[in-house]
Amino acid sequence: MDRKTAVLSQLLEKKVLGIIRVQTVKEFPRLVLALQLGGVHCVEITMTTPGALRAIEEASGKVDGVLMGAGTVLDATTARQAILAGAKFLVTPTVELDVIEAARRYGVVIISGAMSPTEILTAWEAGADMVKVFPASILGPSYLKAVRGPLPQIPLVPTGGITAENAGEFIHAGAAMVCAGGWLVDKKAVATGHYEVLTERARQLVETVQKAKKEMS
């Protein structure tokens, strides 16, 4: 099994991707560890975070057993920088064909953002490994299920507003995995150093997703 296939397999097996979008990367390794303790082993840090590339490099060496990726990647240059920093997968908020091309060139998993069926199919045909459906909080599980009707071959990843309360519904609707950010990495908890809140929310989310996964099998 090559590296890219291994990464994709891990993402699909775990079915939960934590999104870290913070103001500073000072405590980044602690954030990643807090999520890992709760069972979230796949994490992305958004490129909108100051020092994101440095954070990926540092976390790759300090936190074992966590698949580290880069999110909000908007261009090929940033994609290449993230890959060189150690990102094992890339995530875009929209259909960015040059990022998809860069990921394919370097043999890295790419999860392309999209919303409409046309965008979803465009991203898939361009070479995306999975397609992030955003904003999931507005579109809802029923939208995901409807899109999978004519496009069952495309692994869809709902993102935006995912919590332990609704994650199971998206899995039942056919989601390949779910991405959780704001609810999972609570800003107030991070600001006050209460990392146990992140661990507990991670545990709840993973538990919900795994339960739904078993119900689907």
* Active centre residues (catalytic): 44, 132
Instruction: Compute the half-sphere exposure of residue 73: CA atoms within 13 Å on the CB side of its CA.
Output: 32
Q: How far apart are CA 189 and CA 191, in angstroms?
A: 5
**Cβ 185 vs Cβ 19: under 8 Å:** yes
Query: Which residue do the tokens 């440095």 mark?
Result: 54
Phi and psi torsions of 155, nearest 5°: -70, 120
Cα 121–chain centre separation: 19
Q: How far apart are CA 84 and CA 81, in angstroms?
A: 5
Which amino acid is it at 206?
V
Q: How far apart are CA 142 and CA 119, in angstroms?
A: 18
